[in-house]
Amino acid sequence: MAFRRKIVPAELESGDRLTGRMAAIGMNFATTPIADANIEDTLLAASYEGSERDDLRVLAILTTWFGVHHPRINADRLIRLVSDHDSARVRAYWSALSRWKSPDRRFARLLRAYGGPRLDLLRVGNDFQIGRRGEDARFAGSKLRVPAGVLRDRASDVLTPGVLARRHGGYRARLIIGPSYRADAWAAYESAPDSSIAEIARRSYSSFATAWQVVQDVKALEPLDG
């Protein structure tokens, strides 16, 4: 059967499996990490959990994670996932984050993912909290109104890039190669070198051609490693 590339995951994780994937990409939850969880799949699922299901702890740690690790996100894929998502609250959240990190021009198109009126993070009492504390500076002027202090921002809630690179093969590959489908295909091959090219492409959401080229490049290095 011919290979068909897919960008969108079959389903978004939730519950304990989502927590395990968030832990795998460097968010400090007390759970067993799920090895080499896909970064963009996890980010999208976590933003849905936080925005639509009102899990403010998840949203707080996700926001802190983005502040630290956004240079290692595959922006092209995240933009596609967010722009096509049904939830206005999810799109407004990511639009707000792209405004916060506007110097990273890779996320410019993400700013336009939501074009409606400003939304309140808290479904009840948002105006009252902003009146007491003001707005969270990370979201000020964005499409999402977030009261200061509602989403805590602690550096200890996320792993540093160096520590995460030692624990997550895909993140390490992105540090070396850059945040790309090629990096994820490389990591997928290294973790399971007996996989078919089609399987490597599926796991990394890359094209068949990218996965094929990665396999050839890794094999070309094998005599040097010996």
| pLDDT exceeds 70 at position 2 | no
What pLDDT digit, counting tens, does each position of 150-164 carry? 999 999 999 999 999
Average of per-residue pLDDT across 65-75: 98
SS3 readout for the chain: CCCCCCCCCCCCCCHHHHHHHHHHCCECCCCCCCCCCCHHHHHHHHHHHHHCCCCHHHHHHHHHHHHHHHHHCCHHHHHHHHHCCCCHHHHHHHHHHHHHCCCCHHHHHHHHHCCCCCEECCCCCHHHHHHHHCECCCCCCCCEECECCCCCCCHHHECCHHHHHHHCHHHHHHHHHCCCHHHHHHHHHHHCCCCCHHHHHHHHCCCHHHHHHHHHHHHHHHHHHC
Average of per-residue pLDDT across 82-100: 97
Average of per-residue pLDDT across 167-177: 97
Give the confidence band of 55 by pLDDT, cuts at 50, 70, 90: very high
Give the confidence band of 224 by pLDDT, cuts at 50, 70, 90: low
pLDDT at 8: 87
Give the confidence band of 211 by pLDDT, cuts at 50, 70, 90: very high
Average of per-residue pLDDT across 176-189: 97
pLDDT at 225: 58
| pLDDT exceeds 60 at position 106 | yes
